[in-house]
Amino acid sequence: MKTPRRRKVTAGPIRVYALSILLAMLGCEALVTLQAMLVYREPAIIPLGLVMPAAVGLLFGLAIAKIKVLSRDLAVRGVTDSLTGIHNRLWCTARLEAETYRSKRYGEELAAIAFDIDEFKKTNRVYGHQAADVVLVEVAALMQGKDRDSDILARWGGEEFVRLLPNTSLEGATAVAARMRKAIEEHDFSSAEVVTCSFGVTVLRPETDSQESFMGRADEALSQAKEQGRNRVVALP
């Protein structure tokens, strides 16, 4: 009796191309997996025609898992400041919109503190760009430690930061800003001798304020703090 000849299985150009893309995406992990499936199979029991679809399916599964991890990582990076590790302006703007709506809808107070590092350009010039970056990181870390769970801290841009305080009055936010100012003034920075910040504080006017006018007033208070000599808190109702 004649033994039936096995059909030779070859991978077409499309399959090879797809497999090449998967291997490029997954790197060494995929190569090891594919090698194990091909080398340790028993040819008489598991023909190559069965191994290859299983291998490609496994690689597709690994690729999907990797894409999901990368997507989550990109989502985090999209709302996080790459230098300081705190939230960025994009995320803060989205939260500002939500908190402004909630404040107007339910009649709850909302305060904002805008603050930035005094004479930061001088710090950059005297100590260098890298040292100035370290100052930004330390200020962010120091202020993050002062947050309540409900507070929203973000790097607004350059050396400026914003802190939103839901359910907080002007007096309460001013007291918070005073503590923040003191904490920075007393902190022993590793890359600069003296670092201070100026603070502008305001509260949302539910009947008349837009997000822009609300944050614009916080920025105006910050400008006044700088004009009055820096390293101080100015509040505008």
Stated as kind and residue range, the H or E segment containing 100 is helix 89-106
Q: Which residues contact 161 (CB under 8 A, 6 or more apart)?
A: 114, 115, 116, 139, 140, 143, 153, 154, 155
159 an active-site residue?
A: yes
What CA–CA distance (Å, rounded) separates 108 from 100?
Answer: 9
Of the residues 99, 119, 159, 193, only one is catalytic, namely 159
User: b/e map of 81-103 (b: 16 or more CB within 10 Å)?
Assistant: beebebbbbebbeebbeebbeeb
Catalytic residue set: 159
